[in-house]
Structure 1
Amino acid sequence: MKDDKLLPFPQVVIVSPALADANNGNWQTARRWQRFLALPTRIIRQWPDEFADQDRVMLALHARRSSSSIAAWREARRVRGLAVVLTGTDLYRDIETDASAQLSLQLADALVVLQERGPLALPAELHDKTRVIFQSMSRRKTLPKSQKRLHALMVGHLREEKDPATLFAAARLLAERDDIRIDHIGNALDPLLGEAATATMAATSAYRWLGGLPHAATRRRIQRADLLIHASRLEGGAHVVMEAVCSGTPVIASAIAGNIGMLGRDYAGYYNCGDAQGLAALLVQCRASQGLRDGLLACLAAQCRPRAALFAPAAERAALRQLVADLLVSPLTDPLAAI
């Protein structure tokens, strides 16, 4: 399929558990895919609605949180195309324990994972209908960095899955350092974690919690940072990792499958998830190597550069359009018949 031609498809509906007011990864994906597919495509939180009769293809983000829409679609439109896009909580938690998420996997004609290790989390019998579509981001110019101190940035709402507690602990371990600073962008979705962030700021000047910021302002801060910290416990393919790589900002990340699938198996910037001492040690190493061509910080930057090609908008657009084309023209069986 030629990427510069719009598909002659009927209505596509994207079901997203989060809309514009959430400003999170699900919404960013849904909105970008709507632009790539270029009408008629709409984004809703729950299916069906008053326009349901026009829909021919559903792209459902999140196997558990969109499960009622997925089941309703299959009940009403048994042979119409349905793709389920799997998030980190889907892949690394819900499909193991939640019956509605497990059913969503069976009902889908196609499963989409957002990083290269995603298929490994799925049962072998589902691999044939699973495809990897890396999310994309426009590249930003790499900005000059100050050598006076290491400026690290974490972007993630304060909730357990993002593991801000490990960041707080690492910042306290660095309390005596005046050459390492950590800024943290994100809303306190868990009030107790918000209290912990405030207490960490009071305890050490190494950490500053900035609260939630608009996406454009966040991207500018990513450009200016020396490195990004991504501490998640659960991740399907983080937007912020992609944004850092496409801004020339190297990443320190927890060694979980979702991060390894974004940055590569041999990446040098991993620490064991939940290991505050390991995170702090990497920050100290990066500070010591600032300005050195063969130091850790330069190594991480060099390893990130080729990964940026995976996150090119043209590649994601082509893969998404191919997915929709396949859902429209491929002969589909009735997934309910096998259940």
Structure 2
Amino acid sequence: MVKSEPLYETGLYPAPCRRQNFAKSETVNPMELTIVTPAGPDSKAGNRATAKRWQQLLESAGHQVEVVTDYHNGEPDCLIALHAWRSAAAVARYRELWPKRPLIVVLTGTDIYRYQHEAPQTTHCSMDAADLLIGLHDKVAADIPPRYHKKLLCLRQSAPRPAVTGASRTEPGEFHICVIGHLRDEKDSLRAAWACRHLPDDSRIVVSCAGKAHSPEWHEKALDESRSNPRFHYLGQLERAQLDNLMAVSHLMVISSVMEGGANVVSEACRAGLPVLASDIPGNRGLLGDDYPGYFPAKDDHALAELMWRAETDNEFLAELRGRVLELAPSFTPEKERESLLTALARCYGDG
């Protein structure tokens, strides 16, 4: 097993120790953990990013962590499966081999808002098998059957402190809006681009979209929109440093998803102090709060255009949005996320 670089300076890792109980604190006995994600090693999908981040956070707490795309055998102290539906085979195999060992299943947006309804037997079998379910926003309980509520622990995904500041946002000229994430139906990725078509002629808004297209159709749609819409630029998939720079020069971020399990890009925006306009869906409300002032009805580009124009022309509104994301930023730190992960493990062993 190859150990990744820890996020924090934690000293030497303690020697591995099998199947021991946790104390009720962040100082826990080391364990061997396996995280299953359906996204491959070269993928930049959210599930892979979450798995790698959790690997680093848990290793920084002294655990040994392996990230795999499927589970066939092995003897981890606990299996953490990202995605109830896509990881269903791995969940079933682990539970067959180790009926008494802890199993954590992480509920993604498609689990909660699609596969629970389209493939309920498979999805709920994984949820039934789990000792603990992890949700990634605060409103997950309202969207799963009540019988699972006692198993549920909600945590907030973290983002590092941005390396690049947003000082250039105050410069005169264009008003920059960014959209970050893979281009696919669930993200409604071109909604901000379409909203641009409803803006007044004197608007200075320019939308830049960064992310890998989920399909050739999405790639062609983004290129067509970029060619025909002078306010829209499709940047393709960017590296981390480039994404940081994009957020730093942006005045605003749009998150237009029609379903979300708890978008990590919300964490990134809050940590960067970047104001957000978000579709009014549970996954966004569960991170930003019910009283956040920047919501628009999902798939409504006219309503989004009105909010974009207001943010461009109303300095007090934009400052209010920025103030709110800055207030939320401390809830999205790596330290908070690591604490939640350790609480999840402790609950599996009856100490949480």
TM-score when normalising by structure 1: 0.90
Residue 235 of structure 1 contacts residue 259 of structure 1 at CA under 8 Å; is this kept in 2? yes
Q: Residues 190-201 of structure 1: matches in 2 within 5 Å?
A: 190-201=215-226
Partner of 1:174: 199
Distance 1:42 1:177, change over 3 A: farther
Q: Secondary structure at the match of 1:253?
A: strand
Which residue, out of 34, 38, 63, partners 1:17? Answer: 38
Q: How far apart, in 2, do the equivalents of 1:321 and 1:27 lie?
A: 20
Partner of 1:27: 48
Q: Residues 1-339 of structure 1: matches in 2 within 5 Å?
A: 1-3=24-26, 5=27, 7-38=28-59, 39-49=63-73, 52=74, 54-98=75-119, 99-140=121-162, 142-144=165-167, 145=169, 146-174=171-199, 176-177=201-202, 179-289=204-314, 292=315, 295-327=316-348, 329-330=349-350
Q: How far apart, in 1, do the equivalents of 2:88 and 2:311 lie?
A: 43
Displacement of 1:175 in angstroms is: 8.0
Displacement of 1:21 in angstroms is: 1.2
Residue 268 of structure 1 contacts residue 300 of structure 1 at CA under 8 Å; is this kept in 2? yes
Q: How far apart, in 2, do the equivalents of 1:20 and 1:205 lie?
A: 36
- CA deviations 1:78-129 (Å, max 9, x no partner) are 1100010011111111112212111111111000001111111111111111
Residues 163-172 or 150-159, more deviating:
163-172
Residues 118-127 or 266-275, more deviating:
118-127
Residue 78 of structure 2 contacts residue 103 of structure 2 at CA under 8 Å; is this kept in 1? yes
Amino acid at match of 1:133: L
Partner of 1:335: none
- CA deviations 1:213-256 (Å, max 9, x no partner) are 11232122112210111111110111111101100101011101
- Greater relative contact order: 1 or 2 (C-alpha under 8 angstroms, separation 6 or more)? 1
TM-score when normalising by structure 2: 0.87
Residue 161 of structure 1 contacts residue 234 of structure 1 at CA under 8 Å; is this kept in 2? yes
Q: How far apart, in 1, do the equivalents of 2:126 and 2:200 lie?
A: 47
Residues 314-323 or 168-177, more deviating:
168-177
Residue 193 of structure 2 contacts residue 231 of structure 2 at CA under 8 Å; is this kept in 1? no
Displacement of 1:13 in angstroms is: 0.4
Unaligned runs of 5+ in 2: 1-23
Unaligned runs of 5+ in 1: 332-339
Q: Secondary structure at the match of 1:245?
A: helix
- Structure 1 runs, 4 residues or longer, greater than 4 Å off: none
The number of residues matched between the two structures is 321
Q: How far apart, in 2, do the equivalents of 1:164 and 1:34 lie?
A: 29
Residue 193 of structure 2 contacts residue 207 of structure 2 at CA under 8 Å; is this kept in 1? no
Amino acid at match of 1:252: L
Q: How far apart, in 2, do the equivalents of 1:64 and 1:24 lie?
A: 16
Q: CA RMSD in A?
A: 1.6
Residue 237 of structure 1 contacts residue 259 of structure 1 at CA under 8 Å; is this kept in 2? yes
